[in-house]
Amino acid sequence: MKKIPVNITPPPIQVSSAGCDSANLLTGLLTLEQARAKILESITPITQSINVNIMESFGSVLAEDITSPINVPNYKNSAMDGYAVKAHDLPSTATKKFKLVGTSWAGKPYLGEIKENQCIRIMTGAKVPEGTDTVIMQEHISKEDDHIIISAGHKAEQNVRCAGEDIKQGDTVLKKGKLIKAAEMGLLASLGFPTVNVLRPLKVSFFSTGDELKGVGETLEDGQIYDSNRYTIFGMLQKLNVEINDMGVIPDDRKKIEVAFLNAADQSDVIITSGGVSVGDADYVKETLEKLGQINFWKLAIKPGKPLAFGKVKQAMFIGLPGNPVSVMATYYQLGLPAIQHLSGNQNYTQVIAKARVTEPFYKRPGRLDFQRAIFSYDEKGELVVKGVGMQASHILSGMSLANCFAIIPTESGTVHPGDVIDIQPFEGLI
Ligand code: AMP
Ligand code: MG
């Protein structure tokens, strides 16, 4: 498997060297960086914690610093299968015989005495017996009855793991705000913790809006489409440790939209909708929200995903994604996901950016920051290359499925040509 060279600094939203503000001044559109900054500064991360079994902690955020109650490893142990000896018995020239007087097994240490020129058979992870300090690999000795023969050239204390080599008792091992994944689960277990205090999972409610939307399994009439956004949003949320509340499709009806928002606000930390945030005549989302909450309606200088609403309905954070299916995914990833991560208390959230050489043109007009759907791969030299998936319009959801990354084309850039190097955001594991 080839490794993707990654940039792991905090999510650098890529903008042209002409600067993000230029888009704002010229067009009245908000840049992605401006929108992201406004969103993040308006969020107060949650603080309520719960105690969970570490087996159930995957994807949670630590609510407290973790201090180690023990040394890890807890005792001096062998890194190899071999023979434990005293270093000062080792030969400085030629070879020397050692009498084998016992065995130290992992979990069953040798407790007897060890005299001069004696050795102990020792297994990987077994305690290095008192009086010995060096392990000779079993491949480096020869055997003769109840003796082993060791040649010169071994180093004192080789193949021995010291107590506290990984973690010392009293060390702060994990910091509050850290996302718990496989390594952290194992680390907590290695310290002996059966449970851990984590920030409670967020409750996320979502619904689609639009009279044209039909549910799957229903028959489409003229002018209708299936509601796909709710499934995409549900899929994206499943990557997160959140409680998901699917509220279905709400028709373009003032009263029903208001009831849906109030309902969602009462039972959730986050409300996500799709559609109805642009200026269509029958979209009542905007009107309702202006009445119910403090909502910003933005036109973003990004493509796809120009209209976006963000704010609060009662105490719940509201993210109003655009209606077009690709815009839903792009704006969720660029703005919704960082917002949810920040609210959840995750202090280390980053997005991976890699550089790739373009092999086919990406057509573009200057003015907005493009997230074109693209496929990265490796060329014959092992270098990362990228090409588009074909049609780039914001309703072409099949392109999102063909793609494995966003190709990020800077705001002021026009068409990008073969040979140019651009930033890409791989999807793998992210959305
Ligand atoms: P709107 O912002 O509501 O005007 O929607 C913009 C476009 O996205 C329209 O073509 C809608 O039909 C489409 N759209 C809105 N909601 C959905 C949805 N849940 N699933 C699929 N397409 C949608
Ligand atoms: Mg609509």
Whose alpha carbon is nearest atom 17 of ligand 1? 323
Tokens found for residue 10:
């905090």
282 lines ligand 1 (CB under 6 A): no
CA of 328 to the centre of ligand 1 (A): 9
278 lines ligand 1 (CB under 6 A): yes
227 lines ligand 1 (CB under 6 A): yes
325 lines ligand 1 (CB under 6 A): yes
The model's confidence at residue 10, banded by pLDDT at 50, 70 and 90, is very low
327 lines ligand 1 (CB under 6 A): no
Task: Mean pLDDT check: name the lowest of 20-29, 244-253, 307-316, 325-334.
Answer: 20-29
**Residue from 207, 213, 394 whose mutation best tests the ligand 1 pocket (most atoms within 8 A of CB):** 213
250/269 Cα distance (integer angstroms): 20
Average pLDDT rounded to a whole number, residues 238-254: 95
**Residue from 236, 250, 274, 279 whose mutation best tests the ligand 1 pocket (most atoms within 8 A of CB):** 274
Average pLDDT rounded to a whole number, residues 122-148: 97
User: What is the pLDDT, as a whole number, of residue 420?
Assistant: 98
The angle, 0 to 180 degrees and rounded to 10, between the axes of the packed helices 285-292 and 254-267 is: 50
Mean of all residue pLDDT scores within the chain: 92
User: What is the pLDDT, as a whole number, of residue 419?
Assistant: 98
Cis bond upstream, residue 304 (ω within 30): yes
CA of 49 to the centre of ligand 1 (A): 37
210 lines ligand 1 (CB under 6 A): yes
The distance of Cα 257 from the centroid of its chain, to the nearest Å, equals 33
CA of 252 to the centre of ligand 2 (A): 7
Residue 307's DSSP bridge partners are 299
212 lines ligand 1 (CB under 6 A): yes
User: What is the pLDDT, as a whole number, of residue 327?
Assistant: 96
Whether the pTM exceeds 0.95: the reply is no
Q: Closest-lying ligand to the alpha carbon of 322? A: 1
266/246 Cα distance (integer angstroms): 14
Taking only the tens place, the pLDDT of each residue in 359-409 is 999 999 999 999 999 999 999 999 999 999 989 999 999 999 999 999 999
Q: Is 218 left (phi over 0), alpha (psi -120 to 50) or beta?
A: beta
324 lines ligand 1 (CB under 6 A): yes
197/160 Cα distance (integer angstroms): 35
CA of 397 to the centre of ligand 1 (A): 12
> What do you get for the CA distance between the two ends of the chain, in Å?
21
Average pLDDT rounded to a whole number, residues 257-278: 95
Which residues lie closer than 8 Å to 248 by C-beta, 6 or more apart? Answer: 207, 208, 215, 230
Quote the percentage of the chain above a pLDDT of 90. Answer: 86
224 lines ligand 1 (CB under 6 A): no
CA of 24 to the centre of ligand 2 (A): 26
CA of 405 to the centre of ligand 1 (A): 23
Taking only the tens place, the pLDDT of each residue in 45-69 is 999 999 999 999 999 999 999 999 9
User: What is the pLDDT, as a whole number, of residue 49?
Assistant: 98
User: What is the pLDDT, as a whole number, of residue 4?
Assistant: 42
User: What is the pLDDT, as a whole number, of residue 127?
Assistant: 98
Phi/psi at 182 (nearest 5 deg)? -60, -45
User: What is the pLDDT, as a whole number, of residue 182?
Assistant: 97
